[in-house]
């Protein structure tokens, strides 16, 4: 264990003593909200400190066993103890590193998933439809619930734009790395010469804001327009002006919803999407500042980044951020994203551990 990590655990031990003393103060117990927050922190820190003390104990056990090696009668038992202590220390070290990785408070949130057709015209819109199907299948496999917030259909199929709300356990944590440019290479159905075309879509995944955060939008900053909703090709025309478009004047961000016949529900949905977009904009700006001083392994999350290529002729998916290549494209397009998500999550954890080891965590 590096001196840097050891120092961090010793500081946590001091923090635990501080928390124990604070929680024994009757004045803190009278503030139930503060008491609960401190109690949660105490339980978390105590678990880490207990593991660190166990690690230190096994260090002492191994050192004592090494001293026993000088005694011929104790050599075999000493070696067994050294092996056991070393194995325990390796496991504890791994557990302690994982415990130090800072958790994103948004990881537990539901998320909005936006898919937009990009370069490539009709083929891009069709690919947007394929991506939508892939994500919907993945959500189904995870037991998550999905809801269409807004959609703009393409005339030949697929989507110009689709916004989904995904509800479930740890949604944002697993979908967060999907944000970015997705490129497809394949022969379009409209291609008579059999030539491979390249087109692209952009995907954005944004954590859903709490209801309390939504209220913080200043009404003076919003322009709310109503209009008559209509489906693709003029079908399912809504006879009332129930569709809602909300513009956030300071930033120019826009969200609209026309999927519900209720103007009130459309407004609520559009506000929820707008709030998520505003939070995402703020988050990306902060990430850009951090990336200016340190280039992250997973990248800045800039949606202009080409993060992934779907090569249909070769049945290949490549994630360019971590040089991951999988030859199981048909399964992935059917929602089998588990290997991709696991690889990206592991890469992020490895990068964070490297920062901790270097003392930059």
Could you tell me the pTM of the whole model? 0.68
Same domain flag for 56 and 154: no
Q: What are phi and psi of 180, to 5 degrees?
A: 145, -170
The rounded percent of the chain whose pLDDT value lies above 90 is 45
**341, part of any domain:** yes
Between 269 and 83, the more confident residue is: 83
- Among the residue ranges 36-45, 67-76, 175-184, 290-299, the one predicted with the least confidence is 290-299
Same domain flag for 189 and 214: yes
The distance from CA 85 to its chain's CA centroid, rounded to whole angstroms, is: 36
Q: Which residues contact 5 (CB under 8 A, 6 or more apart)?
A: 96, 97, 100, 356, 357
**Which H/E stretch holds residue 332?**
helix 329-333
Q: What is the distance between the alpha carbons of residues 178 and 171, in angstroms, rounded to a whole number? A: 12
Query: What pLDDT sits at residue 256?
Result: 84
The domain containing residue 73 runs over which residues? 3-100
**135, part of any domain:** yes
Q: What is the mean pLDDT of the chain?
A: 84
Question: Is residue 154 a contact partner of residue 125, using CB atoms and an 8 Å limit?
Answer: yes
Same domain flag for 95 and 123: no
Same domain flag for 246 and 347: yes
pLDDT confidence tier of residue 234, bands split at 50, 70 and 90 = very low
Query: What pLDDT sits at residue 287?
Result: 67
Same domain flag for 122 and 253: yes
What three-state secondary structure class fits 160? strand
Query: What pLDDT sits at residue 284?
Result: 75
Question: Is residue 204 a contact partner of residue 179, using CB atoms and an 8 Å limit?
Answer: yes
Same domain flag for 42 and 125: no
Same domain flag for 345 and 209: yes
Number of structural domains (the chain) is 2
């Amino acid at each position: 264990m590096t001196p840097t990590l050891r120092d961090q655990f010793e500081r946590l031990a001091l923090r635990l003593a501080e928390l124990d003393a604070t929680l024994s103060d009757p004045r803190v117990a009278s503030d139930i909200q503060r008491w609960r927050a401190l109690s949660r922190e105490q339980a978390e820190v105590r678990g880490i400190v207990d593991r660190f003390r166990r690690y230190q104990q096994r260090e002492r056990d191994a050192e004592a066993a090494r001293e026993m090696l000088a005694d011929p009668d104790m050599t075999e038992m000493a070696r067994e103890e050294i092996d056991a202590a070393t194995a325990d220390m390796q496991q504890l070290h791994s557990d302690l590193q994982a415990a130090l990785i800072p958790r994103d408070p948004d990881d537990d949130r539901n998320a909005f998933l936006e898919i937009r057709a990009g370069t490539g015209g009709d083929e891009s819109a069709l690919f947007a439809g394929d991506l939508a199907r892939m994500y919907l299948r993945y959500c189904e496999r995870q037991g998550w619930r999905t809801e269409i917030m807004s959609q703009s259909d393409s005339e030949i199929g697929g989507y110009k734009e689709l916004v989904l709300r995904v509800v479930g356990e740890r949604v944002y944590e697993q979908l967060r790395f999907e944000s970015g440019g997705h490129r497809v290479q394949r022969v379009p159905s409209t291609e008579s010469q059999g030539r491979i075309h390249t087109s692209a879509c952009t995907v954005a995944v944004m954590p859903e804001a709490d209801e309390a955060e939504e209220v913080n939008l200043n009404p003076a900053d919003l322009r709310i327009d109503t209009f008559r909703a209509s489906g693709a090709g003029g079908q399912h025309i809504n006879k009332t002006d129930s569709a809602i478009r909300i513009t956030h004047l300071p930033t120019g961000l826009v969200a609209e919803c026309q999927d519900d016949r209720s103007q009130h529900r459309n407004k609520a949905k559009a506000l929820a999407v707008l709030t998520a977009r505003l939070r995402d904009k703020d988050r990306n700006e902060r990430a850009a500042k951090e990336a200016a001083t340190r280039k992250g392994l997973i990248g800045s999350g800039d949606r202009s980044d080409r993060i992934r290529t779907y090569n249909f002729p070769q049945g290949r998916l490549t994630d360019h951020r971590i040089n991951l290549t999988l030859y199981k494209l048909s399964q992935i397009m059917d929602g089998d994203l588990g290997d991709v998500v696991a690889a990206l999550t592991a890469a992020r954890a490895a990068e964070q551990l490297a920062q901790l080891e270097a003392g930059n965590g």
